[in-house]
Amino acid sequence: MLVLTRRLNEKILFPSMQTAVQVVALKSGVVRLGIEAPGHIPVFREEVIDPGRLPEWSDKQEGNAEGALRELMHLLNNRLNASTVGLALLRRQLELGLTSDMMTTLDKVSQELDTLRQRAEKAADASLPPTPGRRALLVEDDRNECELLAGFLRLAGIEVETAGDGADALDHLRKGSRPDVVVLDMVLPRCDGPTTVRAIRRDPTLSGLKIFGVTGARHDQFGLTEGPNGIDRWFRKPLNPEVLLRELKQ
């Protein structure tokens, strides 16, 4: 480890990475740092990323949009998994009445979601062009989950529209342009997943539309067949976005 001494407003430079770190404030034993770096250089606080799985950035990956996208997908997948584990822990603590522990867990889950949202928003600003012909309608009532998954898919070149429940999804399908696939959560307000599937399959104008069902429960409890007259493909929560992406691109 290289140890350097810096005064207020002095910088540490990394010329090959076009990056600078500046001391911007000192108080109460805390140092505030300002970091200037290109968009493809990831910068994280230590507590929000697993140090054992930090990316190995090669010279080729630096400045390579495809490499940056791959690494961002990896990060999103890991943070989504961490959030899922955190919510499971929170549920168990609630069942056991461990209210003091719940606040610590909730803070950690909130950190994970904040990191995901910031990275998704930053990547969305890059405006990567979508791949023609790859369009999905994502139907999910949890706003955070919907925005994060939509951001992940858009980064991978999928053109994504969103709907908050089955009623909104049916209205979109009948009035808007037809997607290649509907990614549909099963438990929704107003109009749930099974009702939405049956309405789509009864509509001749939507014949052949693929439907991917997403649920945290056993899929056989919804009374839907598998195949072109029901659900084309099931995905179990917690969802692995990489698996969903592979199916969407086929």
* pLDDT digits 0-9 by tens, 64-87: 555 666 666 666 667 677 777 777
If one counts every other C-beta atom within 10 angstroms of the C-beta of residue 195, the result is 14
The model's pLDDT over 97-145, given as tens digits with 9 standing for 90+, comes to: 888 888 888 888 777 777 776 766 666 555 444 445 589 999 999 888 8
Q: Tell me whether the omega of the peptide bond preceding residue 129 falls within 30 degrees of 0, making it cis.
A: no
Q: Residue 15: is its pLDDT beyond 50?
A: yes
How far apart are the C-alpha atoms of 209 and 175, rounded to whole Å? Answer: 15
pLDDT tier for residue 214 given thresholds of 50, 70 and 90: very high
Q: What is the pLDDT of residue 181?
A: 96
- Cα 232 from Cα 239, distance rounded (Å): 16
Instruction: Express the helix, strand and coil content of the chain in percent, nearest 5 each.
Output: 45, 20, 35
Count of beta carbons in the 10 Å neighbourhood of residue 238: 14
Whose structure tokens read 């195949």?
227
What are the phi and psi torsion angles at 214 (to 5°)?
-125, 130
Measured in residues, the chain has a length of 250
Tokens of 94: 């609630």
| Per-residue pLDDT, 133 | 58
Which pLDDT band, with edges at 50, 70 and 90, does 60 fall under?
A: very low
Please report the pLDDT score of residue 127 as a whole number.
45
64 vs 153: which has the higher pLDDT: 153
Please enumerate in sequence order all residues whose Cβ is within 8 A of that of 98, keeping only pairs 6 or more positions apart, or say none: none
What is 135-249's CATH topology?
Rossmann fold (3.40.50)
Phi and psi torsions of 172, nearest 5°: -65, -45
| Whole-number average pLDDT of the chain | 79
Q: What percentage of residues in the chain have a pLDDT greater than 70? A: 73
- Edge-first strand listing for the sheet containing 135-139: 159-163, 135-139, 181-185, 210-215, 233-236
> Which amino acid, one-letter code, is at 3?
V
242, two tokens: 């990489």
Average pLDDT over residues 20-48: 71
Q: Closest Cα partner for 201 from 159, 168, 173? A: 173
